[in-house]
Amino acid sequence: MRVRRKYKKKQKVKNTSINQIPGQVTYVGNKVTENPTVEIINFDKEKVNRENSNQVADAFHYKNKDSITWININGLNHTNEIEELGKHYNLHPLIIEDIVNTQQRPKFDDFDDYIFVVVKMLYHDAQNEFISEHLSIVAGEGFVLTFQEADGDVFDGVRERINNAKGRMRNSGSDYLMYALIDAIVDNYFIVIENLSDKIESLEDTLFTQAVEDDMTHEIQDLKREVLRIRKAIYPLREVINRLENSEHQLIDEKTHNYLRDLQDHITQISENIEIYREMIWGLMDMYMTTISNKMNEVMKVLTIMASIFIPLTFMAGIYGMNFEYIPELQFKYGYFYLWGAMLIVFFLMIWYFRRKKWL
């Protein structure tokens, strides 16, 4: 039951955004941090600078330098900081709105000076809870801005590669960094759907081997909901990557296009897997139904066998419990034992009959 409750809490869309003025920046998610975390990584071929701060302003001095600056902000509820950064990098108001609107589906927009991408970061946190986090990426000449709901992400591999002076990362532009970030997110989708696959198999095994308890339908329904949510996060991404790949924005290098094609391939692969898991889950309900029916069959068989054997025998005993004045068998010396014989014959006939029917 615990799992289901969790989902419930999340699914509820906080409609604080309703009836608000379009373009107005209001955070609608439910992760709230006290202070924004601003992670600033500036690098070029020669060196890497790394800073952690609570103020976006600390990152401003890197602007217009020849190096690449990655500014990663955790905490979408700090809309002021985000607006300040937006103003500094000249971002369109609707983009700021999309950054803090956690219900925004994955999208791609290209502007003259930068590219804007919204994706959903799916991962399981330390408590193995399924997390779908809203993540926005703005990539322009010499800078990449990322906006996350809260601390904790899947970018550790990217950070490492930035440190590695010989890797492609240090020798490429901000478009490659943007690609690497999306790639890290998509790679993580593989883990998420693998987790899904594990859950399906575990449920199948439970259905097959263990006692089936009442709340099985809920677990299956929850699994359905999870696969639908994953699908909802991933499907629009196909179009996003596709448009990114086909975009002729001057920021995206020809080589990066090759990598984006590769990414497109991965997304397609994930989508196909999701469809397969979806069919498997829908099949689980059928499996469960047949399991229940099989169980009922078993219950019925026990009842039928017990009743079919003892009801005739009880009848036979009842016959000779009657008080008629003249029941000849009662006077037989071995009448009682003859009757036992007859009862045993009936008993074994029944047993034989049920065995032949493979009920025993």
For the segment 104-163, give every residue that binds a copy of itself (CB under 8 A): 104-105, 107, 154, 156-157, 161
For the bound state, the minimum distance from the C-beta of residue 177 to a copy of itself, rounded and expressed in Å, comes to: 12
For the bound state, the minimum distance from the C-beta of residue 276 to a copy of itself, rounded and expressed in Å, comes to: 5
**From candidates 32, 57, 165, 317, binder to a copy of itself by CB under 8 A:** 317
Distance between CA 328 and CA 345 in Å, rounded?
Answer: 21
Q: Which sign, positive or negative, has the C-alpha torsion 301, 306, 309, 311?
A: negative
Distance between CA 155 and CA 220 in Å, rounded?
Answer: 32
Which CB sits closer to a copy of itself, 320 or 348?
A: 320
Q: Is 217 in the site for a copy of itself (CB under 8 A)?
A: yes
Instruction: Please name which of 277, 301, 189 lies closest in space to residue 241, comparing C-alpha atoms.
Output: 189
Which CB sits closer to a copy of itself, 57 or 342?
A: 342
For the bound state, the minimum distance from the C-beta of residue 63 to a copy of itself, rounded and expressed in Å, comes to: 25
Q: Is 307 in the site for a copy of itself (CB under 8 A)?
A: yes
Tokens encoding 123: 């991962």
For the bound state, the minimum distance from the C-beta of residue 66 to a copy of itself, rounded and expressed in Å, comes to: 24
Q: Is 287 in the site for a copy of itself (CB under 8 A)?
A: yes
Distance between CA 360 and CA 357 in Å, rounded?
Answer: 8
Candidate segments 37-45, 77-85, 91-99, 122-130, binder of a copy of itself by CB under 8 A:
91-99
For the bound state, the minimum distance from the C-beta of residue 189 to a copy of itself, rounded and expressed in Å, comes to: 10
Contact yes or no for 122/151 (Cβ under 8 A)? no
Inter-CA distances, 170 with 59, 67, 141, 224, Å: 19, 10, 15, 42
Tokens encoding 13: 């869309």
| Interface positions, 64-83, toward a copy of itself (CB under 8 A) | none
Phi, psi of 215 (to 5 degrees): -85, 15
Q: Residue 281: CA atoms inside 13 Å, Cβ hemisphere, count?
A: 24
Which CB sits closer to a copy of itself, 85 or 267?
A: 267
**From candidates 61, 168, 351, 360, binder to a copy of itself by CB under 8 A:** 168
Total residues binding a copy of itself (CB under 8 A): 115
Which own/partner pairs from 283-288 qualify as long-range (CB within 8 Å, at least 24 positions apart)?
A: 284/200, 284/203, 284/204, 284/207, 284/220, 284/223, 285/217, 285/220, 287/204, 287/207, 288/207, 288/212, 288/216, 288/217, 288/220
Q: Is 359 in the site for a copy of itself (CB under 8 A)?
A: yes
Q: Is 348 in the site for a copy of itself (CB under 8 A)?
A: no
For the bound state, the minimum distance from the C-beta of residue 294 to a copy of itself, rounded and expressed in Å, comes to: 6
User: For strand 68-74 and strand 143-148, is the pairing parallel, antiparallel, or unpaired?
Assistant: parallel
Q: Is 8 in the site for a copy of itself (CB under 8 A)?
A: yes
**From candidates 26, 51, 63, 320, binder to a copy of itself by CB under 8 A:** 320
Instruction: Please name which of 82, 112, 74 lies closest in space to residue 98, comparing C-alpha atoms.
Output: 82
Q: Is 10 in the site for a copy of itself (CB under 8 A)?
A: no
**From candidates 165, 276, 344, 345, binder to a copy of itself by CB under 8 A:** 276
Q: Which residues contact 312 (CB under 8 A, 6 or more apart)?
A: 346, 350
Q: What is the largest CA-CA distance in the chain?
A: 120
**From candidates 18, 45, 112, 127, binder to a copy of itself by CB under 8 A:** 18
| Interface positions, 182-211, toward a copy of itself (CB under 8 A) | 183-184, 187-188, 190-191, 194, 197, 201, 204, 207-208, 211
